[in-house]
Structure formats: structure tokens, C-alpha cells
Chain A
Amino acid sequence: MRKVFVETKNVKRLVAAINALIKRHIGIERLMLLFGNPRMGKTETIIWLINHFFTDAVYVRCIKIMSARWLLEELVSSLGLDPAWRAKDLFDQARDALIGTDRLVCFDEIDYLTHDSKVIETIRDLNDLTNAPFVFIGMHQADRKLKKYPHLWGRFAQVIHFEPPDRGDVGDILTQICEVKIDESVVDAVCETQSLTLSLIYRWGQKIEAIARSRGLDKVSADDLFNNNQSRKKNVSKTNKSGIKLSA
């Protein structure tokens, strides 16, 4: 399998939204919410973006029992500073490091913190005082949970929902990651999978390659995926005739 990151429609929408967030004029809120079902590639997309476009960005992974001080400490150490002891000093450190900059700050699993208004308000204060672009990443009900804070919800300049992959995305991903050719019927078959996620598509890719390797196929169709015995007999003869060998 090819180890490539595939730019799906969700990724393109997210890139456009973050660019809009970065280019906003000072004085306009720079908050963004990204949410969606689990296994849709939200975290991986953000990490890929940080690695390729926003090298000075900061990523903080929230934890359910996090307090405001703990969050600030994590943020300050992610900013590359030595965290101070007092909460006020921590806040000052974070504010001084972020003020007037375009450093992207990402808070993953933000819905863990929505039960504690102190933490959420601290993040909002920090965003108010620094005007740095903040991205909240949450699970599928993050928007509903954050609507409890109307003054915060009103500040979101961009709200992106990661949709489940459609047929075009599935086709793009499979053709880019598989080293064998894929028939359109395979894409249709994969799309019929219930609650399709990105990780499931990658597993399908592995299966397709395994079948192609074991049977010596250069193009895989839906029949090869599901009709094991019949196709095996057919393909053994095909392999003997053509003598194709696939490298894994």
C-alpha cells in the first residue's frame, strides 16, 4: 500500500476554512469548530496540516479531568516555554507568547471540557486577549454542547462538520493508496459498507491488495472480493497464463 495522505473533500473544506481564519482582520474573532463522528480523520488531518503548512502551530489534547491551570500548563509547555507555577503567571506566559501572532492553537477533544465553564471561559479569554486563531476539535455532538455557551458560540467564525466519505472520496482514497488497479465495482461495493469510516476504507485497501497479491491479479473487481472460491479457480489459471507477479 502507498503511504500517502489523501486530500478528501473534508480536508479541502478544512484547509479553506483555516486559510479564511488566518487571513481575517485583527479585531474579528478567530475561532473555529471542527467536529464529526469518530474515525473520520479529524485529528490526522489537523496533524497533517500542522506538519505541512503551520509548523509553528500548537496542539493540545484535552483530557476529561483537566482543570484550567492544567490546560494552561499544557499550552505553555507546547508553546516551548517553561511553565510557571501560578495560574496567573501561566496565563500571562500564554498571552505574551500568542499576542499578535498567527500561531494556530488546536484543542483536540474539546467536548471533554464543555462541562466545566471555567476552562471554556479561560480559553475564550485567551482568544479575546491575543486574537490568535484557535481551532476546537470535537466529536459528533460538540456543537450541541458548545451551544450552551451562547457568548462563545457566537464567536465561531467557521464551523466545519466532517461528513462521512462519499463515493468520490472512496474512489480517490482507494486509487491513491492501492498499488493495484481497481474496478468501479469495488468502489460501489465498499460504499455499501454500513457506517463507513476512513479507517474502514484503509482496511478495504489492505484486503484488496492482499487478494491481488495472493491471486496474482493486476486489476481487482467486486467479484474477486466476495466470490472467493470461484474467482480463485479462475485466477489461478489467469496467473499461470499471464505470469504476473505483484510486489507488495
Chain B
Amino acid sequence: MSQKPTKAVSSFLLNRKTFSLNDLVTATGIDRRKLLRVLEKFRNEGFLQIVSEEKVRPAWGENGPFRKNPCYQRIKDISTRQGRQRPFCGRDRIWRTIRYLRKFKRSDLVRLTGDKERTVYVYTRQLVIHGYLKDLGRSGKEKVFFLINDPGPKRPIIEGE
């Protein structure tokens, strides 16, 4: 299966600063109309700007008007572009709060995230089972947890989720 145009253009832009549409078509082998659409999207998002616009005569055997061949310049790092993301859910909020606090009780999470006690209870228990949290003991009636394995800001996806 061929690569999707947005991904192909993103990977092409990592190494090139100035290029024309023809260069892109030659490098990726994707239909130029689809590529032009992606380039316009990137331009509207502020990653590219047009340096010059040329028109190219149709190739031998092709019909129709002169083809557009704009020359673009990359003005912003394309790796900072964030694609479509899944919506932010309660577990994301809990995970973020755990990363900020490091050592916490379940009541701290309920108080700071505003999520239900049951949600916090189930999620922390799963994180303990999968080795992300460690149960340090009790402070009063409540368990105290500590974050021992931090894979980053994105919450770990647990099996069966």
C-alpha cells in the first residue's frame, strides 16, 4: 500500500528546506493534486511559504492547461506539527497528576482531578499491577503510592484497555 500524502510530505520536509512541487512528485511518486492539497494545508498552518510560482508546460502526450509548480520554503520545523489526537480523557488527567505529584494518595487524585473515586481506584490499581506505581504503605487509612516507572507525558496503554 502506498504512503499517505501527509506522511510522505512530512518525511520529505524533514530533509529539505526549499523545494518545488515537481521535486516532491518525483521523490514521492504521489499524484500532484493530492500533494498540492497537503502543501496548501501546511502553508495555512504556517509551516511553509511560497517563494515563487511557475507554470510548467504539460508533458508530451498530456493535455490541458499549464501545470502549477510553486516553489516552497520551510519556515517552521515540521516535527512540531501535531496530528489528530484522541480526546483528553479522565485517565489522561489522572496520569498527568500522578506525574506531577510523584508521591500521592488516592484522595489527592480525586481532589485535584475532580474524577470519581472509583475511576481513580481502578486506574491506580492497574498501574500498580503493571509496575508503574509502587504501594509504599499507609498514611492513616489511605495507601500511599509512588511513581517508579515514568514512560513520559503520554499515559501508558495498559493491556485490555
Contact = CB atoms under 8 A, between A and B. Distances in A.
A80 B112 CA distance: 22
A48 B112 contact: yes
B156 interface: no
Interface in B95-110: 96-97, 100-101, 107-108, 110
B153 to A, nearest CB: 6
Interface stretch (B5-13, B36-44, B53-61, B72-80): B72-80
A97 B100 CA distance: 21
A247 to B, nearest CB: 14
A5 B111 contact: yes
B108 to A, nearest CB: 8
B153 A96 contact: no
A77 B80 contact: no
A96 B140 contact: no
Contacts of B4: none
Contacts, number: 48
B107 A3 contact: yes
Given A51-B97, A61-B100, A80 B154 contact: yes
A27 B110 CA distance: 39
Interface in A32-69: 43-44, 47-48, 50-52, 55, 59, 61
Interface in A83-131: 92-93, 96-97
Contact of A97 (B80, B113, B140): B80
Contact of A78 (B77, B110, B153): B153
Contacts of A16: none
Contact of B77 (A43, A61, A92): A92
A77 B111 contact: no
A77 B101 contact: no
Interface string B27-54: 0000000000000000000000000000
Interface string A1-38: 10111000000000000000000000000000000000
A158 interface: no
Would you list the 9 A-B pairs with minimal beta carbon distance, nearest first?
A3-B110, A96-B80, A3-B107, A3-B111, A5-B111, A97-B80, A48-B112, A96-B77, A47-B100
21 contacts: A3-B111, A3-B117, A5-B112, A47-B100, A47-B101, A50-B96, A51-B97, A51-B113, A51-B114, A55-B88, A77-B152, A77-B153, A78-B153, A80-B153, A81-B79, A81-B80, A93-B79, A96-B76, A96-B80, A97-B80, A206-B140
Given A78-B153, A206-B140, 8 more contacts: A5-B112, A44-B108, A48-B111, A51-B112, A55-B93, A77-B152, A80-B82, A93-B79
